[in-house]
A and B are shown apart, each in its own frame.
Chain A
């Protein structure tokens, strides 16, 4: 599993700290470089400037001052993680959050993103994680609650029976093998998409044959909706990671149908790794 650069969007919140801790833990195992990024939202700067309207300091100067303060804070935050030969790159930029992050991710050749999901919905009800998720072509791990990193022994792979995931099988296996974890393949049956046990078995068996997974188990859980089933199962199994496959959509289509991956990310206490099927990533080993 080739992970050379891990990207952590950082907003100084406690949850971002937790994401950074997790990223650091991963960096130790993979010998990756940690790229910590704080993006100064232009909107925020404007708001702050409004407050300082009586102060004759110019806009640019203000921004520079603010950046300096942030730089000090960011250095401080990264300090404790600079140990054990972990290379850390820090950046502070200002601009549109998502655009800036995307730009950095491409420019710096990032392999994996670790991101705190606050669950605060912005416009159109999407969190920053969700917005990012729709446009990236690399894996992203979402941290929704403070999480103490621990050895990954069980991975829950939530599958949807119908689409095929040939692009991501290799990636999933790479992650699984890296930690020598057991893969618990889960299908959730809901009243709206009911399937008989026989049908589920047949389709999951075919998936297993196509993917050539090893060290796995197959489970079916009945739930009123998919996210409930996934979380119920992951918690019961005490899994350390949930892998979900996103079918990236953008714009109106997504808004209408919603995304189970995003729903799970906003509710679970277990880190969620999202793999997109839009593009094939370079991180398969």
Chain B
């Protein structure tokens, strides 16, 4: 049985992610169950005590209990709204990041589906340079959904440097390729700063494909001035449904707005789902 974890803050973006997770879970030949999780960040909630001072929810047990109950009810409502039969809800309090990591390992989660632009907490988790380290430590793949969509993953683009990918990452990508039934498009971005000739790149590719026994894939060499713009442009060119990245490449790619070298076109890369893999 495969488990999909959906962290939710009851926002629209979270619901988008949940809807995609439901689509994935509906796959007939897979046995998938959903874990919906909400973390109440007690630091964000304040109330006044009898003396009229502001205290946070941690310090007020009644308030804390009320918050937990109210969250629980929202989660129940969500499960009912979507008519989910194979789903469980979890409410936790504390540090979002720690708790997500803990849940992933304890529950043996196979995939996390998360919505972007959901709330400042999640946004911070995804786009802050200090906390994107969390994505790198989570031991399951993380699928980021950025808008309401019918999820499809026919064309899965994997941007790779053909060299330092860890075995773990490749195993997970192949697993996802199997789960989604995707065509895998490997792409190597060649930049002026780190320029190799085709001969060299092709032999690296041959070793790579051989080592990891990749099947049903295409390989392209794509030139661009930076790796980030190269990945974004390539995804556009091949109309990628899903972009796979080793978490080491994450950076600020998810929210990247780029102007191309020779024109003023600004490309908003924020609508394509991205799946990241930690070591």
Contact = CB atoms under 8 A, between A and B. Distances in A.
Given A222-B190, A222-B201, A196 B195 contact: no
A222 B222 contact: no
A196 B223 contact: yes
A139 interface: no
Contacts of A224: 197
B216 interface: no
Nearest to B195: A191
Nearest to A190: B195
B196 A194 contact: no
Q: Indicate the member of B190, B198, B234, B262 with the most A CB atoms within 10 Å.
A: B198
Contact of B197 (A195, A198, A200, A228): A228
Given A220-B223, A222-B223, A199 B261 contact: yes
Q: Indicate the member of B223, B237, B262 with the most A CB atoms within 10 Å.
A: B223
A221 B198 contact: yes
A29 interface: no
Contacts of B196: 222
Given A222-B201, A232-B198, A198 B221 contact: no
B224 interface: yes
B199 A197 contact: no
A194 B195 contact: yes
Interface size class of B (residues with CB under 8 A): 20 to 34
Contacts of A200: 223
Interface string A173-210: 00000000000000001010011111110000000000
A200 B223 CA distance: 9
A229 interface: yes
B197 A197 contact: no
B23 interface: no
Given A222-B223, A223-B197, A223-B198, A197 B192 contact: no
Nearest to B229: A196
A49 B123 CA distance: 91
Contacts of A220: 221, 223
A101 B15 CA distance: 81
Contacts of A223: 197-199
B195 A195 contact: no
Nearest to B225: A196
Contact of A194 (B192, B229, B237): B192
Contacts of A199: 261-262
B197 A196 contact: no
Interface in A62-92: none
Contacts of A189: 190, 223
B261 A222 contact: no
A141 to B, nearest CB: 27
29 contacts: A189-B190, A194-B192, A194-B195, A194-B223, A194-B225, A195-B223, A196-B224, A196-B225, A196-B229, A196-B230, A196-B261, A197-B222, A197-B223, A197-B233, A198-B224, A198-B237, A199-B262, A220-B221, A221-B197, A222-B195, A222-B196, A222-B201, A222-B221, A223-B198, A223-B199, A224-B197, A229-B197, A232-B197, A232-B199
Interface of A: 189, 191, 194-200, 220-224, 228-229, 232
Given A194-B225, A200-B223, A222-B190, 18 more contacts: A191-B195, A194-B223, A195-B223, A196-B229, A197-B224, A197-B234, A197-B237, A198-B224, A220-B221, A220-B223, A221-B197, A221-B198, A222-B196, A222-B223, A223-B197, A224-B197, A232-B197, A232-B198
